[in-house]
């Protein structure tokens, strides 16, 4: 027997059809097997769901406090990973009084734009990946692992290095692929190139080292 559509995929389909200015969405998850409904509610715990029998109610907010669209997607993935089947239904929505700001460019596109500003002979980059929400930190760290990212104290951000031809840092192509993975999961943020070197030629080393705040990066 085929399983129903994954709950995370159901949410993405619903989200794609929401009004452009949606601000809050009320959802109802009906679990097919009532014997696992309690477990499903526990997995959805960070969203503060309400439960009555096999029906679970959740409210998602776009920006500000509350359950973000991305957090809901992560939580529904937990149910999918435990093969908990159900149906997700949109109950109601509210719209913001003011237009929602337009979406930023994708992270991959932002990386392309940043590279286009650099001189043709760039060789080494120190960059920052800023994230739009703390909800993204754990998943972004996993998807961006090839960048060897480091957390930025006091900020919702990671920093990483990229090397064009030789030396310490991830290749520009792999950086773009990692950012595409974040884009594919709806992780929003920004890319900023903090430092760049051109025409470096390491000799018996892994490349140049920047010292920031007395520490090498």
Domains of the chain: 7-95 (3.30.70), 107-208 (3.30.70)
Phi-psi region of 213 (alpha: psi -120 to 50; beta: other; left: phi over 0): left
Report d(CA 54, CA 182) in Å as an integer: 33
At 110-138, the pLDDT tens digits run 898 888 888 888 899 999 999 988 889 99
DSSP letters for 51-108: EETTEEEEEEESSSSSB-HHHHHHHHHHHHHTT--EEEEEEEEEE-SSPPPPPPPPHH
Residue 1: pLDDT band with limits 50, 70, 90: very low
152 compared with 97, residue with greater pLDDT: 152
pLDDT digits (tens, 9 = 90+) for 134-193: 889 999 999 999 999 999 999 999 999 999 877 788 999 999 999 999 988 888 899 999
Asked whether the beta carbons of 199 and 192 are under 8 A apart, the reply is no
């Amino acid at each position: 027997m085929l399983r129903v559509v994954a709950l995370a995929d159901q949410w993405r389909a619903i989200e794609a059809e929401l009004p452009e200015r949606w601000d809050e969405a009320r959802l109802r998850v009906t679990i097919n097997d009532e014997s696992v409904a309690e477990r499903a509610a526990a997995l959805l715990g960070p969203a503060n769901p309400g439960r009555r029998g096999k029906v679970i109610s959740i409210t998602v907010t776009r920006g500000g406090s509350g359950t973000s669209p991305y957090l809901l997607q992560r939580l529904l993935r937990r149910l999918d990973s435990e093969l908990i089947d159900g149906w997700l239904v949109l109950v109601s929505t509210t719209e913001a009084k003011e237009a929602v700001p337009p979406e930023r460019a994708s992270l991959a596109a932002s990386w392309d734009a940043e590279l286009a500003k650099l001189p043709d002979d760039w060789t080494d980059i120190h960059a920052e990946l800023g994230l739009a929400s703390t909800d993204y930190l754990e998943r972004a760290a996993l998807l961006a692992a090839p960048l060897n990212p480091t957390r930025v104290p006091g900020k919702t951000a990671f920093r990483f290095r990229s090397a064009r031809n030789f030396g310490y840092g991830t290749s520009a192509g792999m950086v773009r692929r990692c950012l595409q993975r974040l884009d594919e999961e709806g992780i929003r943020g920004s890319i900023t190139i903090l430092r760049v070197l051109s025409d470096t030629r390491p000799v018996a080393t892994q490349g140049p080292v920047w010292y920031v705040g007395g520490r090498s990066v």
